[in-house]
Structure 1
């Protein structure tokens, strides 16, 4: 069994990522830790519980993480995911926050990693605030992880939030800098441009959401707002569930066909470049640790994982 912790700011793509993880019989989700990001922390917690309810997995512990960035001004992605993070289609019967664990999310993360040294894969699909706090509390956490998978950053200076900044990294640049600097476990990054290039035909989107299951009906219900946004932008060439790529790569070692191994860091200054991920192909930074930056994915295997997630 692959042991994973998922760190989310549950919007529509986080929801699908969670569903992909829960559909794999070889994956054990030890915890889901929530963070501000796509929406507020409280709404992210509620959304996560909604996903677990439709998957009949409310046994998985959900923890409260960071409610704001370390230093940056707080922002959200309500224009994309809806004000509530899940398409603004509330469920009157959604689980209540009394189901959230009392223990703080970062402390739970550290405890679980210490209980399973070198066995846990951490998948981060939110701003990296929880991870940054964790490594400050325990500087050795990355040596205890099996691997870290991140959806965030960019590789061609193409932004989706600022001129050249991707949302998760721009939402807390200081946290992203700390994580890219201090986590030295095997690190895999699914960037914004990578997910755009790996988008799927809208015809496939219609097909896999039309399966006759409660999970498919749920995803179809929460997706129209983000789908409409994608179709109206320059990235609207296909269905792009950004966070799901990082999660899929974390649970299927063979899904990523090509990646670049390169040292990375984050730009914290600059009028236009704050939050920009920097790839050091010239090795001028002299960093020993190098990340695997995803370039190409097996789209057929990815499609199969998405189909299975809603069955």
Structure 2
């Protein structure tokens, strides 16, 4: 749901040129991911954007689908891509496409990683110059305060492929920007907004409204079952990451730290480790988002409805 919102925001941004959308395993299998992406492009009339199929499992060959949270199918009532649309998936593998595009436009490409980073890690290992040729990398990140959304410690994107996350954070020399889950949760939108958005009658606007409502309902279910340390309201995680990639001024406050990923802990595997005291002396620091300009964030969501 939040992936769809993020894509719609990027599609609506006048200053963004989307070179490609690359798919990876995530809350559902790779084929459903590709289908969902095509559905969003179809309802937004943007089928000219190339879509590439990538990794179907983690680097270790594991698949952790979490379809119970987001569902296996596309958004309710969204147009399902027909056979001709499915053929729109390019034959070139996502990793090769990423490397080719970055080589054609060195220093100009911003990569936004909204899911597990298997494709990104593979690109770095297969093409060693890839990490230095990106303009910047934006990551939908992890908890940094030992919270969870799939286990005691650890969140879905990192826990699903910890080795990939570790490779990315240790190999990439371009600017790395991380929207932590705490950053998103501390900037919740009022639940009432879910019913107020998308007053336009367009198919895309109504779909955006449905996605927002589904996200709000999911947030309420989590709050009722687990309680919330961050107040009430709903949060569309990937949308915050995309908003910052579209307009960096959406982030009002940020901090730079060395970061790593725990790979061996029996309870903490997949955790994002933030070296706030610089004990590890890591040469490359990541930018961690702290405060969001909520008015600018809301404006981007409104634009996505038109």
Q: Same fold (TM over 0.5)?
A: yes
1:107 corresponds in structure 2 to 96
CA distance in 2 between counterparts of 1:308 and 1:98 reads 29
| Alpha-carbon contact 1:87-1:226 (below 8 Å) kept | no
**Paired residues of 1:150 and 1:246 also in contact (CA < 8 A):** yes
Helix, strand or coil: the match of 1:247? helix
Q: Does the 8 Å CA contact 1:164/1:273 hold for their aligned counterparts?
A: yes
Aligned partners of 2:13, 2:76: CA distance in 1, in Å?
28
Q: CA deviation at 1:211?
A: 3.2
Once structures 1 and 2 are overlaid, which stretch shifts more, 209-218 or 162-171? 209-218
Alignment partners' CA distance in 2, 1:59 and 1:122: 19
Partners of 2:32 and 2:72 within 8 A in 1: no
Q: Is the 8 A contact 2:191 2:234 kept in 1?
A: yes
Aligned to 2:153: 164
Q: Distance in 2 between matches of 1:47 and 1:198?
A: 27
Contact persistence 2:75–2:207 (CA under 8 A): no
Q: Distance in 2 between matches of 1:202 and 1:215?
A: 21
* Greater mean alpha carbon deviation, residues 122-131 or residues 200-209: 200-209
**Which of 253, 275, 279 is the aligned partner of 1:258?**
253
Instruction: Name stretches of at least 5 consecutive residues in structure 1 with no aligned partner.
Output: 1-11
Question: Aligned partners of 1:230, 1:185: CA distance in 2, in Å?
Answer: 33
Give the TM-score normalised by the residue count of structure 1: 0.92
Is the CA contact (8 Å cut-off) linking 2:191 and 2:216 kept in structure 1?
no
Which secondary structure does the structure 2 equivalent of 1:295 belong to? Answer: strand
2:281 — aligned with what?
286
Q: 1:92 to 1:189 in 2, by over 3 A?
A: closer
Choose 225-234 or 182-191, whichever is displaced more: 225-234
**Partner residue in 2 for 1:272:** 267
Q: How far did 1:223 drift? A: 5.0
- 1:139 equivalent in alignment to 2:134: no
Post-superposition offset of 1:210 = 3.7
Single out whichever of 124-133 and 70-79 deviates more from structure 2: 70-79
Q: Structure 2: how far apart are the matches of 1:215 and 1:97?
A: 20
Q: 1: distance between equivalents of 2:110 and 2:132? A: 12
Give unpaired runs (5+ residues) of structure 2: none
Deviations 1:181-227 (Å, cap 9, x if unpaired)? 10111010001111111111112222223432211211333455443
- Aligned counterparts of 2:4 and 2:289: Cα–Cα separation in 1: 22
CA distance in 2 between partners of 1:31 and 1:92 (Å):
20
Equivalent residues of 1:80, 1:225 under 8 A apart: no
CA RMSD of aligned residues (A): 1.6
Q: Secondary structure at the match of 2:192?
A: helix
SS at match of 1:33: strand
For 2:300 and 2:113, how far apart are their aligned partners in 1? 19
Shift of 1:253: 1.7
Indicate how the Cα distance of structure 1 residues 53 and 90 shifts in structure 2: closer, same or farther if over 3 A, else same.
Answer: closer
TM-score normalised over the length of structure 2: 0.93
